Structure 1
Amino acid sequence: MLEVNNIASQVLLNCSISDARHAGLYSVCGLALRLRDLYKWEKGLYPWQEEESSVMLEWIGEKEEKWESLSGKDFSDIEILGRNYDPFDVEGINKAIEVYGIFYGAGYVHSLKPSFFLAFLDQKTDIEGYPVYYLGRELARDLLTVPAFSQDGCILIRKESAELYLWNQMFFIKKSGKQALGFALKSYGVSDGSPDMLHQNLAKISAAELEGYVYHELGEIKDRVFNRRIWRALVTKFAHTPIELLARSVKDLLADTNDYGKLKHIARERREGSLAFHVAFLDGLRKELFPELIVAFQEFSGTRDWQVIENAVQTGFDTARNLAQVLSGIYLEGEKRDDMKWVEYEIEKELLAPLGIVKV
């Protein structure tokens, strides 16, 4: 008999160990927002529900005490039906538990933070020959609210996290994204962005937007521009630096703009709301690398001319391809020289300095 709660407890322990090790990666504000999400999940709150500050602060204090108690601990194996599995053996673990309607995820995210989760499996489909798992209520998770990712050639859609992620994106929208957000909401029949209207329509909108995550992940899996070995080396050797951020942003842009990706799918299917959400939520380096989409959307919002969007998407793909080629060329030359400091300097000089991210 599979003891689901016992497995969830084991996964939660590894989640806490990872959070304890890597909480220092985040700014004070960034950590507070992630703790806010984790609290809502632990307490079963809706995305829009907020706890009293005093209660939150007490809970955060307890969480930090737990993290301190886990300092120096290694990740634990996951014991299932009398057999122990390495916590990163996702294939072995899922072979053991998928038949019971639950699914496990593990991997490395930004700054090589290990991330783990366990969730009920709602539905399994496929796209272009790749399995797509739609996951429901989450039984274990860490600080990260990740709506989707790919794992061993499979696409995982975390519906619970996706809903919280969408709420956060709308709630913390920057001024520059408000016009596109309004356009997106109207496309879904939401006449205003009042809290009540957002509460009532969040589940419907989030469910409709899951398709976009699927095609982003498919775009990543199908990408053949950015050599995977080189990309992994860049994010590993330069973890938690602007170089890692650039490499990840380029990979994301390729995934969104290649023939299998999210924006190509949106344009083919004429999904106005999804396009507007994508534009509204563009920020940071992703926005710096793809300003053409912002300009194109301004024109599109008045004309509904999809050719304008398709042209911008092609430009975005060309930009990402060129950046991937430059990054790869610099890295390969650095390998020949056996000099990663040279790689760091060249990437900063050739790519990051022109973007205003570093000074050389």
Structure 2
Amino acid sequence: MLNTELLDTVRYNCNVSDANYWGYFSLCSLLLRLRELFKIERSLEPWDSVKNEEIFPWIEKKENTWKELENASLTPVSLNGNSYSPFDIDGINNYLVNNGFVYGAGYALFMKPSFFIGTINRFEKIDGYNVYVVDKEILRDIFSSPGMSLGKTVYIRLTDIKYRLWENIHSWHRKKGHIYEFILSKFNHPSDWHYPFKEFYSIVDKYSKIVLYHEIAEQEENLPLWDEIIKECDNSKTEHIIRGIRDFIADFSEKGPVYRALVERDKELLYLYIASQGAYQKKILQPVLSQIEKACSTNDWKNIEQIRTLEFKKWKNNQEHILELFKLKGFEEVKNLTDKIFEVGLN
């Protein structure tokens, strides 16, 4: 059983974070996040429907809670007579993991504090990292991501992965292109699936590998000064660029998912990686993703390795240039430079 005081404290910190950061999201994004959170709190699956008469009062109650907690501060977590920072994942998990649960904490987009408690699907030691594959999430804030990492701890969040992929896959069958045809032919068309959706869960497992390799690579390539730049972004589009560059470096590094797909000659992994990129990533990486897709279709793995190596070096050079600019001239010059990525990209 979970400690009631622990649950109340984490729930409070989730609400405090949401109260102070909900305005950073667009209205559409906020409503989608609230809908997902509503379903998760009720242990519903992505394919389960909800009724307006049920969710609307819940949203109103949530908004009232946020109003009460505007400008409130996070509170320490008390366990067994000890007090822990909300970000002391090791201290809190020393208690939780023995009971089959895991606690996650970190800073998300906009430097939003993000927390969750979930059940442990499995635990693995991989390349010196403690990897928790998290199944059902008991508590979380409105922000979620398929993976989180802090230091030597990595979380693979199956709930978020399921929700993301369920929406993606049902849109992919309306798109044209070899990559979507390959994925749907490999895992079958969604219209042919039957509960418990064996084909869907096979995609979830495959995508979990992408998340795992990305998170480990991100920690391997982590630079403290890069985090300092992110902290100064203050909800500007610069943050998307800075985080994006870190993501690109991780993905194209020798610890990342592109290299892993290359080593394992795993077309499914590589195609799934390309198809699941967000709008921002596709905007910046479209030429490269197209080159990789074309090479993959002809099994030209040598060309893919050349593309990966060049792309990794490019983003590392961009990072070094930005770091030097930040040290010499400060954040405003970094902002001026990164704004250009939206127009012509960096070389």
TM over 0.5: yes
> Aligned-pair distance for 1:298?
4.2
1:245-256 pair list within 5 angstroms:
245-256=240-251
The 3 A distance-change label for structure 1 pair 199 and 31 is farther
Cα distance in 1 for partners of 2:225, 2:84 equals: 29
Deviations 1:90-149 (A, max 9, x none): 222112322222211111111000000111223221111222112222121111231112
Change (3 A) 1:34 1:171: farther
CA 1:177–1:30: 2 relative to 1, 3 Å: farther
Q: Distance in 2 between matches of 1:186 and 1:346?
A: 43
Provide the rounded CA distance (Å) in 1 between the counterparts of 2:266 and 2:66: 44
SS in 2 for 1:322: helix
CA distance in structure 2 between the partners assigned to 1:203 and 1:166 by the alignment = 10
SS of the residue aligned with 1:123? strand
SS at match of 2:134: strand
Q: 2:335 aligns with which of 325, 334, 344?
A: 344
- Count of matched residue positions in the alignment of Structure 1 and Structure 2: 345
3-state SS of paired residue (1:131): strand
For the pair 1:219 / 2:217, whether they are aligned, the reply is yes
Partner of 1:354: 344
Distance 1:171 1:35, change over 3 A: farther
Separation in 2, partners of 1:176, 1:245: 26
Residues 64 and 195 of structure 1, relative CA distance in 2, 3 Å threshold: farther
Structure 1 residues 145 and 347 mapped into 2: Cα distance closer, same or farther (>3 Å)?
Answer: closer
Partner of 1:331: 326
The AA in structure 1 aligned to 2:272 is F
Residue matched to 1:194: 191
Q: Is 1:106 matched up with 2:97?
A: no
Counterparts in 2 of 1:127-206, with a 5 A limit?
A: 127-171=126-170, 179-188=178-187, 190=188, 192-194=189-191, 196=193, 200=197, 201-206=199-204
The separation in 2 between residues aligned to 1:284 and 1:96, in whole angstroms, is 40
Letter in structure 1 aligned against 2:236: T
Change (3 A) 1:56 1:181: farther
Identical aligned residues as a percent: 26
Q: Superposition RMSD on alpha carbons, in Å? A: 2.5
> Following TM superposition, by how much is the alpha carbon of 1:245 offset from its aligned partner in structure 2, in angstroms?
0.8
SS in 1 for 2:190: coil
Note closer, same or farther for the CA distance 1:140–1:152 as it changes in structure 2 (3 Å cut): same
Change (3 A) 1:221 1:52: same
- Which aligned segments of 4 or more residues in structure 1 are displaced greater than 6 angstroms? 174-178
Please give the TM-score of this superposition, normalised by the length of structure 1.
Answer: 0.87
Change in CA separation of 1:244 and 1:120 when aligned onto 2, cut-off 3 Å: same
**Does the 8 Å contact 2:10/2:139 carry over to 1?**
yes
Match of 1:209 in 2: 207
For structure 1, the residue ranges without an aligned partner over 5 or more in a row are none
State how far apart, in whole Å, the 2-side matches of 1:300 and 1:44 are: 42
State the Cα distance separating 1:172 from its structure 2 match.
5.2
Unaligned runs of at least 5 residues, structure 2: none
Pairing 1:240–2:239 present: no
Q: Secondary structure at the match of 1:120?
A: strand
TM-score by length of 2: 0.90
Q: Which moved more, 1:26-35 or 1:56-65?
A: 56-65
